[in-house]
Amino acid sequence: MSTLRIGLAQLAPRLGDVAANVALHRDWIARALDQQVDLLVFPELGLTGYLLQDLNAEVAMPADDARLAELAAAAGQMSAVVGFVEEAADHRLFISAALLEGGQVAHVVRKAYLPNYGLFDEQRFFAAGDRVAAIDSRLGVRLGLSICEDFWHLPVPLLHALDGAQLLVNISSSPGRDVSATVEGGLGTAGSWQALLRTYAMLTGCHVVFVNRVGVEESITFWGGSEVLDPSGRTVLRAPLHEEGLFVAEMDRAEVRRQRVATPLLRDERPEMVARQLERLIRQRAGTAEEEPPE
């Protein structure tokens, strides 16, 4: 199977209403199965809504929660990514994504970068994940799964690509802002994300799947615009802004090989040099660096 059918579940979760959102996810899984989707991707915190504040602990669930298992069973042979609040054994709360495969929760990935500026207040309510690793999927591709703000930090796509990912999947609850006549498309946030997605596809030679929610919470309107890009940075499908819907794109897996043979950026990547420089910079930031001799 060289092509994969990717389903982008650009939906509007109900804030704080897990039961309603589980039902919503179940319906959309059934719709995606009807359309022979191989990988169905739901947005960040799709099972809970985004602006939870003190509801965070009330909607949290462990990775082995029966509701996740139920959705995994519903997905059957289809792979699915769902976003939820994960309560760890030590009761830390994470913004997490679960990869559901083969009727069970195959992997859980925790959001590593929590924004706490402007309209964001995530560090007040959540713990940050501390592992960035690619994961194997039954689809025969390795996935770099990340959550929203993770994509505003260069190490995440780099680490995923070095770890063997061929497909970068980012799930988001991105609030629309910066409405302006001078940015293409009229919405600054959308323009910034589109630039990021294209850049990461080109630099990593990966397919990129971005799923962003829609709907309104408090002052925020989430802008949608979910997207699939091929490893050359070309947009395969871009969902409309602000419209709820299940969008399906076909992804040709052979594109990764073609792109990486033609432009072997990943071959030329130098993790050992990067690691040395990072060690140096970490010492500098910590104030423990000794005077280093000039090279």
Partner 1 sequence: MSDDLPWELPDELLIDTEMARRIIVAFIGGHMQQTGFGRAVLGLSGGIDSALVAYLTAAAIKPENLLCLMLPYRTSSPASRADAEEVVAALGCPSRVVEITPIVDGYFEAALAGGEERAEPSRLRLGNFAARARMAVLYDQSAAWDGLVMGTSNKTESLLGYTTIFGDNAAALQPIGDLYKSQVRQLSAAVGVPEAILRKPPTADLWAGQTDEHEVGLSYAEIDRLLYSLVDLRRTSDELVEMGFAAANVERVVALVAGSEFKRQVAPVAKLSPRTPGVDYLYPRRRPRGG
Residues that bind partner 1 (CB under 8 A): 12, 14-17, 19-20, 49, 51-55, 176, 179-183, 185-187, 215-219, 221, 241-242
CA dist 112 and 145 (Å) reads 11
Structure tokens given for 269: 């990547």
Minimum Å gap between C-beta 135 and partner 1 is: 32
Q: Which is nearer to partner 1, 64 or 178 (CB)?
A: 178
CA dist 56 and 93 (Å) reads 8
CA dist 112 and 136 (Å) reads 19
Name residues whose C-beta falls within 8 Å of residue 145's C-beta, 6 or more positions apart in sequence: 81, 97, 99, 107, 109, 135, 169, 171
Q: Which is nearer to partner 1, 155 or 188 (CB)?
A: 188
Minimum Å gap between C-beta 221 and partner 1 is: 5
CA dist 213 and 221 (Å) reads 9
Q: Which is nearer to partner 1, 189 or 259 (CB)?
A: 189
Minimum Å gap between C-beta 277 and partner 1 is: 32
Other Cβ atoms less than 10 A from the Cβ of 271: the count is 11
Minimum Å gap between C-beta 48 and partner 1 is: 11
CA dist 141 and 139 (Å) reads 6
Minimum Å gap between C-beta 45 and partner 1 is: 13
CA dist 98 and 87 (Å) reads 13
CA dist 122 and 116 (Å) reads 6
Packed helices 155-162 and 188-204: angle between N→C axes, nearest 10 degrees: 30
For residue 14, CA distances in Å to 73, 113, 167, 214 come to 23, 24, 29, 11
Packed helices 18-34 and 66-75: angle between N→C axes, nearest 10 degrees: 10
Minimum Å gap between C-beta 215 and partner 1 is: 6
Minimum Å gap between C-beta 105 and partner 1 is: 23
Q: Which is nearer to partner 1, 219 or 288 (CB)?
A: 219
Sheet holding 104-110, edge to edge: 104-110, 93-101, 79-87, 39-41, 3-10, 245-252
Q: Which is nearer to partner 1, 221 or 235 (CB)?
A: 221
Q: Which is nearer to partner 1, 57 or 73 (CB)?
A: 57
Minimum Å gap between C-beta 43 and partner 1 is: 16
DSSP code of residue 258: H
Q: Which is nearer to partner 1, 216 or 282 (CB)?
A: 216
Q: Which is nearer to partner 1, 223 or 247 (CB)?
A: 223
